[in-house]
Chains A and B, each alone.
Chain A
Amino acid sequence: MTRRDALVFLALTVLLVAALAFATALGTANVPPQRALRILWDALSGAEGDYPAWQRTVLVWVRLPRVITAALVGGGLALTGAVMQAIFRNPMAEPGIIGVSSGAAFGAVTALYLSATTFSMLAAPTGAFIGALGCTAVVYWLASGARGRVATTTLLLAGIAVGSMMSALTSFVLALSLRQWEVGRQMLSWLMGDFEGRSWGHVALVFPLTLIGSLWLTLHGQELNVLLTGEESALSLGIDVPALRRNLIIWASLVTAGTVAVVGAIGFVGLIAPHALRLILGPDNRRLLPAAFLGGATFLVTADMLCRLASLSELRPGVVTSLVGGPFFLYLLMQSKRAWAG
């Protein structure tokens, strides 16, 4: 790692810590920022302070889990986006490319539809998780030919085909539910991606998969690098390509499914964060994957904070990520020559 890379990592870490602190300290409920930091510190160290109990409740039970959920989701999506772009050697690849997101959407709306009367926090996440993994498994099974060989192009196309069928079914279930206003609203809210009301329970849902998966993927950075030089090339350098690709897809899908299940579909982070960091750090996945996690986490925490501060419930994190991320990405693209070769 060069000194420049080390500086980039330092900057990314500082930015993430700052984003976490600001996002927790700032909000519409009127707690002065300085006191907010005090309360956080006390909560971490277990001390009591002389401030109203509701302020501590707002911070520790409302804002903090929401911020941490955003960080894990942003980090997980950015990292799996980078992994998918490497597996498919395709700059357009994003975490949902083989049907994870569309399967999750179908699972979530179905679960919400079926559980309309017995409302549960777990309905949408459970349905989404099952839908995501089920859809991925079907796509993978469809694409695997003789002797367990999986062609990436087939995988990609099968993902698109199954994905569009899932979207159609999602629309159908949504249309069925529009008569029940509250259920329809829940579904739309989930489909647009939302951090509203995410609790420590949600953190517990997303935390283990995201962290274990991200760690596993990061540890396989050099294998991914070799895979980027071509399938035969990777085989000849000693990599069991079919097994590696299968494991990478399984872990990337698990992480994506975990994040999508908890917050719904958040676009753009998984596409743009890896690109932005690749332009800064180059394509070496040993550095790119952890950097993408840090960058994606910072990005989504910031986007969510902006949504809350704007006090417009119509402004969704997904809208902010696209509106802010698009121009930033274009700027980087114009600046750097370390782009995709053309």
Chain B
Amino acid sequence: MAFLELDKAWFEVGEAAIARDVSLVPAPGRFLALIGPNGSGKTTVLRLLAGLLVPTRGAARLEGRDLRRWPRREVARRVAVVPQNTHLDFAFTVRDIVAMGRHAHLGRFQPEGARDRAVIEEAMRRADVWRLRERLVTELSGGERQRVFIARSLATEAPAILLDEPTASLDVAHALETYELCRALATEGKTIVMAVHDLNAAARYADQVAVMQAGQCVAQGCPADVLNAHLLAEVFGVEAEVFHSREGWSAFVFHRAGVAAR
């Protein structure tokens, strides 16, 4: 029984199919990168996996049971989400936001205990926002906010973390830190699914990639097999030069299709 899976899942709005016949089995201990052009359905797939959207056909299951039949609270303890849009209008402190990750673990009259506080601190340290803990989220940069939301997902202690382009507004150093953090979390046994535009990062850090195109998952497998010049030309419409690092991962340099490399 898979921990988390999409089984021939469709998501349709009227006539349009935003996800069509997607089957995906992110596995514990694995870092799955979800790649594809804008509008190819990456975010929809993440939402289906998190139970935020219900498939119009097919199924999304958690521990073998249809996600619709899970209480939200129980899902929240198992699947954490780092949203793409982290904009906030309300001046909460960083710690307030990260502490919200404990919500599904606490009863209404139950204050944070010592263990909750320890989990919150550890989450802030791992996402490198510990020194920001007293700051207001409204005063942070976009990249800092994204790390705060990563910390919040860690505070949930959920075994699966779904991230929607978490590095979109991070500088190169913090982006690398985020990839390495996800890599480490996967190695510790978490299920990591990350929608990501940086194909070099997908090739280097992920165990598996799933390639989305127009709502369909057109290829999945280990990066070395899937990410080749042919597929990248097909899906993204770019020409890719492939380089191989000494450590065995591939790196790409892209050129617009039809524009020859100099």
Write the residues of chain A forming the contact surface with B, with a CB cutoff of 8 angstroms.
89, 219, 222, 225-226, 228-230, 232-233, 235-240, 282-284, 338-341
Write the residues of chain B forming the contact surface with A, with a CB cutoff of 8 angstroms.
47, 50-52, 72-77, 79-81, 83, 85, 88-93, 96-97, 100-101, 103-104, 108, 136, 138, 156
CB pair B52–A237 under 8 Å, yes or no, is: no
CB pair B103–A226 under 8 Å, yes or no, is: yes
Kindly identify which residue among A226, A233, A282, A338 contacts B81, using a CB–CB cutoff of 8 Å.
A233
CB pair A282–B89 under 8 Å, yes or no, is: no
CB pair A233–B83 under 8 Å, yes or no, is: yes
A237 to B153, CA, bound (A): 9
CB pair B92–A282 under 8 Å, yes or no, is: yes
CB pair A232–B83 under 8 Å, yes or no, is: yes
CB pair A236–B76 under 8 Å, yes or no, is: yes
Kindly identify which residue among B47, B80, B103, B108 contacts A219, using a CB–CB cutoff of 8 Å.
B108
Nearest neighbor of B54 in chain A, beta-carbon distance: A147
CB-CB < 8 A to A239: which residues of B?
72, 103
CB-CB < 8 A to B156: which residues of A?
237
Nearest neighbor of B156 in chain A, beta-carbon distance: A237
With most chain A CB atoms within 10 A of its CB, the pick from B51, B83, B90 is B90
CB pair B83–A230 under 8 Å, yes or no, is: yes
A89 to B52, CA, bound (A): 20
Known A226-B103, A282-B91, A283-B92: A238·B81 in contact at CB below 8 Å: no
CB pair A338–B76 under 8 Å, yes or no, is: no
CB-CB < 8 A to A284: which residues of B?
92, 96
CB pair A232–B52 under 8 Å, yes or no, is: yes
Known A228-B88, A282-B92: A240·B81 in contact at CB below 8 Å: no
CB-CB < 8 A to A282: which residues of B?
91-93
CB-CB < 8 A to B100: which residues of A?
222, 225-226, 229, 237
CB pair B52–A229 under 8 Å, yes or no, is: no
Min distance, Cβ B164 to any Cβ of chain A, angstroms: 10
CB-CB < 8 A to A283: which residues of B?
90-92
Known A-B contacts: A232-B81, A236-B76, A236-B80. Give 19 more (CB < 8 A): A222-B108, A225-B96, A226-B103, A228-B90, A233-B81, A237-B103, A237-B104, A238-B75, A238-B76, A282-B91, A282-B93, A283-B90, A283-B91, A284-B92, A284-B96, A339-B91, A340-B91, A341-B88, A341-B138
Nearest neighbor of A225 in chain B, beta-carbon distance: B100
With most chain B CB atoms within 10 A of its CB, the pick from A225, A226, A238, A282 is A238
CB-CB < 8 A to B80: which residues of A?
236
Min distance, Cβ A261 to any Cβ of chain B, angstroms: 30
Can you show 23 pairs from A to B with CB atoms below 8 A apart?
A: A89-B90, A226-B100, A226-B103, A229-B92, A229-B100, A232-B52, A232-B81, A232-B83, A233-B81, A235-B52, A236-B75, A236-B76, A236-B80, A236-B81, A237-B104, A237-B156, A238-B75, A238-B103, A239-B72, A240-B72, A283-B90, A340-B91, A341-B88
